[in-house]
Amino acid sequence: MDQMKDRFRNLRRCAEDAPEGTYETAKQVHELIGDTCDRVIREIMELGLKADKLDVAFALETALYQYVLDSNKEATLFASAEGFGAAMDGPNRDRILATTKQNRDVLQQIRSM
């Protein structure tokens, strides 16, 4: 489970740090998982029950991400997004961000031809 937690953290970093117009599906998946967990917590609390263990909520997010991965084994976007997220803490962060923006811009130019 620790490896899965690391993978989800990397997805989160990608969603937070990737330039606009890049990794859009990964950003959407991350947002959906977060919104789903927020709703579960909110609805539990509306029932008058406690829902205050953030580490358990993170485990729920991680389990949902595992579900998405297991359901989409052929999707390469998650490995790419996780790699990008992992690189955001490394020494090549600025270069990777610049290259990602440049690649995005080139693809946008190609699409507009």
pLDDT for 1 beyond 70: no
Q: Return the residue matching tokens 């205050």.
A: 52
CB 100 within 8 A of CB 18: yes
What is the span of the domain harbouring residue 79?
2-111
Nearest alpha-carbon partner for 72 in 16, 64, 10: 64
Task: Identify the sign of the CA torsion 51, 52, 54, 56.
Answer: negative
Return the pLDDT at 7.
97
Q: What are phi and psi of 13, to 5 degrees?
A: -60, -40
Q: Give pTM, 2 decimals.
A: 0.89
Quick one: pLDDT band at residue 99, thresholds 50, 70, 90?
A: very high
Return the pLDDT at 52.
76
CB 85 within 8 A of CB 23: no
Nearest alpha-carbon partner for 64 in 42, 28, 37: 37
The stretch 80-92 carries a mean pLDDT of 96
Return the pLDDT at 38.
92
Write the pLDDT tens digit of every residue in 14-70.
Answer: 999 999 999 999 999 999 999 999 999 999 999 999 987 777 889 999 999 999 999
Number of independent structural domains in the chain? 1
